[in-house]
A and B are shown apart, each in its own frame.
Chain A
Amino acid sequence: MPDWKQYVRKNLRASNLRPEREAEIVDDLAQQLEEAYGDALKRGLTESEAETVARQHISDWKALAHDLQNSPRLAVPLAQNLGNRLEDAAADGRRWAAWFAGVSHDLLYSVRLIRKNPGFTAIAVLTLALGIGANVTIFSWINAILLNPVPGASDPGRLVEVITLSKTESYTSMSYPDFKDFREQANLLDGIAVHEMRGAAINGPNGAERIWVELVSDNFFDVLGVRPILGRSFSIAEGRAAVPVVAISEGLWRNRLAADPDIIGKTIDLNRTSFTVIGVMPGEFLSGYTGLAMDVWAPVQMMETFIPGENTLDRRGAHWLNTLARLKPGVTPAQAAAQLSAIATQIERRENGSGEIRLGAFPLWRSPRGAQAILGPVLLVLMGVVGVILLITCANIANLLLSRAVVRRREFAVRLSIGCSRMRLLRQLVTETLVLVALSAAAALVAQRWTAGLLLLFIPPSDLPIALVTNLDLRILGFTAAVALASAVFFGILPAWQASRTDLVVTLKSDRIQGSVRQPWLRNAIVVSQLALSLPLLISASLFIRSLQNAELFDPGFRTDNMLLASVDLLSAGYDQARGSQTVDRILTEIRALPGVESASYARRVPLAIGGGSSSTSLDAEGYEPPKGSSAWSYLNWVGPGYFRTMGIPVVQGREFEVSDRPENPEGLVVNQTFAERYWPGEDPIGKRIRFSQAWYPVIGVVGDSKFRRLNEPFSPFVYLSTAWNYRPDVIFHIRVSSDPMSLARPVRAIVHQVDPELPVFDVVTLKENITAASFQQKLAASLLGVFGGMALLLASVGLYGTMAYSVARRTHEMGVRMALGASRRAISRLVVTNALRITAVGIVAGTALAVVATRLISKLLFGVQPTDPASFGGVILLMAVIAVVASVIPARRAARLDPMAALRDE
């Protein structure tokens, strides 16, 4: 008969049951199997057949073990379970397993220590979780914007953004004919694609809704390596002729189209045109723009539907498309850029007979425009900042652990004396450190879900479809692990080194806790480094706060107060040009008649808005000879009558656009002073002519300079076109009011609704709110640096306080002697405060040196303040000195209250 007991035991092994229970279970099951075997024999089966029958009674041992483990009565608790497993392995006789079993013992010991000192553990874990959490949070942002700029794209390392560098002073986009040439000739690329976004209206049963469309070349998805989850992507034919087809986002498909599985081939209405849905793109893919999520993708050939009256597909001068390319494996961006530049120069020579064009190919994380350009520099500064925070945190924990090491000296000495090796002791300490770190990292990861979303709070209001993917991924997990391990090394090494140097005899003989002789300088060094590290953070925070204040007070060249903005999009609502301009005029007339409105106008773009207006163009200025290889250029805006009056931009010469400017009159332009001075220095600009594309237009007015893209940009040439001659269906009403601008939001909506109930009004905001975009970088940096700087200061002052309190405790005897010899209580407390100030002074000197270097790194982000701003330096240094005094007051008073007799007895 088979040995059923052994059979059961063998199969139930490694199932983590309590040993005494396991024996019972084995007995019980073996007995039952034996009975089944016996029954089978009785039915006349052979021995081997009976054995098979019995075995079939328990076919899935894993499932059985799993079921039994769910019983608390039978299974071993988790922590013990781990130990058991490791000890099992040790029993196998393998050396590494024995080592691990030892670690598991260390682990159990660490867990017990943690449970015995919940206060210490809580403080250590919380502090460290703050430090690691700050790093994980900033890294998630960097991950979303710089490391994973186009989520869903395959092999993003080979993607580059292609930008024309030399044509004008700013970066210019690509024209469609140029793109076609590049696509044909650039053989170092695996593909080159163009894209450009526009707002559009999707028409449904509940009226029109505003969505975002990305106009793309037919190969866009292939270049990015994104596959549709349903249907197909665009075909070559759809890149040659206007075919009304769209790919839609998974979000739109699920939310608006009820995830219709048969959506392919059905139509949706965009801007009152029927489009056939050919594909649904995966939800993880947002768009070709970092941080923006599109709803639909349409072939660039369909531009007429989304940008009517501007069919520029055949115009080489129309630079309006963004370009992404995929490098062939092994090709560097520089090689690709060189080839693209050569092709561009060739085109330029063929078309214009001369000129040299330089193109750049930037890895996506270094793209000079988009979210990367806006957030990248700030994020890198913040990454440095949180690194410093982590160092300070580690210093604090090291300090805590040092104090504990003193308390535990006897424990270590006893363990050493009964034969524990120093190596083993070290390993115990390292394990304890790792447990602390693991708990903190886990807490930081849990918090990341919320903290990662904080970035969106800093992003100013705008109508852009902003979306950042900050979900946990492998990269963030890996980073967290690395940061946690690095911090473990930082704060674990000192205490471990100290402990391993425990002097057996001295420690065992002493029956009370005593600090080592080496300790004071070590602790002082830790505090000095904490103070020194927090100083640059606080000074940078102060510099950013002053930048923000300066930005508030700065005159951008137009009035920012008491202005209400409201946007309408006549194109989406299906207006043609004639009806459109009539409607805009009617709305404007009625808005001007509202009580409280001082003046009103409209424009295509609002200055200093996020993603607001960076439309620039190359042009010819009459009589101006551009240097070889370049051309005159200017920013552009389309504005309505009375725009400059409404904005508070002074008219320096000539006149501004008025209602009397009609389409039938000859067209005129308004330029700013910088334009006039740059292209016609010393001449009268009125009457000079400017050429766009084909025709020449005279200048009728010159207006004051104003900031357009950023507060800290130099004034740039600017041309204003009147909507009287250049119809714009998408305009933003600018309404100057005498009181609170938001009080007019409702009346303005009512007017538009009255004119056309179908016409949606969106983005009704104050100008002030809208231009916060301009100081967005400073605001983000100031807020976060303020928080982090405060954190650093708090940690450093806690460290200082701890050190002072400890030194008072250690020098009790000395102070008793001093008092006995006649020192006054005042002298004693002065002793403590002086000591604290001495440490702080060293910290301040070192910190100031660091700050001088660090603030130079952020000088580009500052506005109106020097990186060596004396007020910031002085203020922070003073603050630190005050904190040093405050942190030493309590220990000083304790020292002063010492009873000299008791202090003398204290050895």
Chain B
Amino acid sequence: MSHNELKKGSTELLVLTLLEKRARHGYEIGKLIELRSGGRLTFRIGSLYPVLCRLEDRGLISGWWIEKAGERRRRFYRLTPKGRSTLEQQRTDWKQFTAAVNRVLGGEHA
């Protein structure tokens, strides 16, 4: 499995996690992923945007426009209650999955 495929599988989880505490706008989410992963994970706008749309289609996040004087309007996203429970579920799944994978990897070395 390439780095890219791993990334694809976890994008939704990353986005949902970043929206857990507060609402954010699209570009900010991409930037935060890059920052927090120490530059190891980068998302271009072109690949993150459809993910946001998809999550919104599925009712996991909702978006709304905020306008400030002198700036372009920005679209912010926040977690819906459904998104929150999905996040919990996905987080548990991910931890179990990575733990399982690590155990196997460790086992092979031992």
For this complex, 9 residue pairs linking A to B, each with C-beta atoms less than 8 Å apart, are: A28-B49, A32-B45, A36-B45, A39-B31, A57-B44, A57-B45, A58-B45, A67-B54, A73-B56
For residue B72, CB closer than 8 A to chain A, the reply is yes
| B6 → A minimal CB distance (Å) | 20
Q: Report which of B50, B57, B73, B74 forms a contact with A64, defined as CB distance below 8 A.
A: B50
Decide if B72 touches A34 in the complex (CB within 8 Å): yes
Are A56 and B72 CB-contacts (below 8 A) given A32-B26, A67-B50?
Answer: no
Are A67 and B53 CB-contacts (below 8 A) given A24-B75, A28-B26, A31-B74?
Answer: yes
Indicate with 1 or 0, residue by residue over B46-69, a CB within 8 angstroms of chain A CB atoms: 100110011011000000010000
Decide if A68 touches B53 in the complex (CB within 8 Å): yes
Decide if B75 touches A60 in the complex (CB within 8 Å): no
| A38 → B minimal CB distance (Å) | 10
Number of cross-chain contacts by CB at 8 Å: 56
* C-alpha gap A802/B45 in the complex (Å): 64
Give the number of residues in A that approach B within 8 Å (Cβ atoms).
26
Q: Which 5 A-B residue pairings sit nearest by Cβ, starting from the closest?
A: A58-B46, A67-B50, A57-B45, A32-B27, A57-B44
Q: Report which of B46, B50, B72 forms a contact with A27, defined as CB distance below 8 A.
A: B72
| A59 → B minimal CB distance (Å) | 6
Decide if A59 touches B46 in the complex (CB within 8 Å): yes
Contacts of A28 in B (CB 8 A): 26, 49, 75
Interface centre among B25, B26, B46 (most CB of A within 10 A): B46
Indicate with 1 or 0, residue by residue over A761-795, a CB within 8 angstroms of chain B CB atoms: 00000000000000000000000000000000000
Decide if B72 touches A74 in the complex (CB within 8 Å): no
Name A's B-contacting residues (CB within 8 A).
24, 27-36, 39, 56-61, 63-64, 67-68, 71-74
Contacts of A61 in B (CB 8 A): 46
| B5 → A minimal CB distance (Å) | 17
* C-alpha gap A854/B72 in the complex (Å): 80
Are A27 and B45 CB-contacts (below 8 A) given A35-B27, A36-B27, A71-B54?
Answer: no
Give the number of residues in B that approach A within 8 Å (Cβ atoms).
18
* C-alpha gap A796/B74 in the complex (Å): 68
* C-alpha gap A28/B25 in the complex (Å): 9
Are A73 and B44 CB-contacts (below 8 A) given A24-B75, A27-B72, A31-B72?
Answer: no
Are A73 and B57 CB-contacts (below 8 A) given A56-B44, A68-B50?
Answer: yes
| A37 → B minimal CB distance (Å) | 11
Decide if B46 touches A57 in the complex (CB within 8 Å): yes
Contacts of B27 in A (CB 8 A): 31-32, 35-36
Query: B-side binding surface: helix, strand, loop or mixed?
Result: helix
Query: A-side binding surface: helix, strand, loop or mixed?
Result: helix
Contacts of A39 in B (CB 8 A): 31
* C-alpha gap A34/B73 in the complex (Å): 12
Decide if A72 touches B57 in the complex (CB within 8 Å): yes
Contacts of A73 in B (CB 8 A): 53, 56-57
Closest to A21 in B: B53
Closest to B46 in A: A58
Interface centre among B25, B50, B74 (most CB of A within 10 A): B50
* C-alpha gap A35/B73 in the complex (Å): 12
Closest to B75 in A: A28
| A734 → B minimal CB distance (Å) | 68
* C-alpha gap A72/B73 in the complex (Å): 24
Are A27 and B73 CB-contacts (below 8 A) given A33-B45, A64-B46?
Answer: yes
Contacts of A36 in B (CB 8 A): 27, 45
Decide if B45 touches A71 in the complex (CB within 8 Å): no
* C-alpha gap A36/B29 in the complex (Å): 12
* C-alpha gap A74/B57 in the complex (Å): 9
Interface centre among A28, A34, A64 (most CB of B within 10 A): A28
* C-alpha gap A60/B46 in the complex (Å): 8
Are A64 and B72 CB-contacts (below 8 A) given A32-B26, A56-B44, A73-B56?
Answer: no
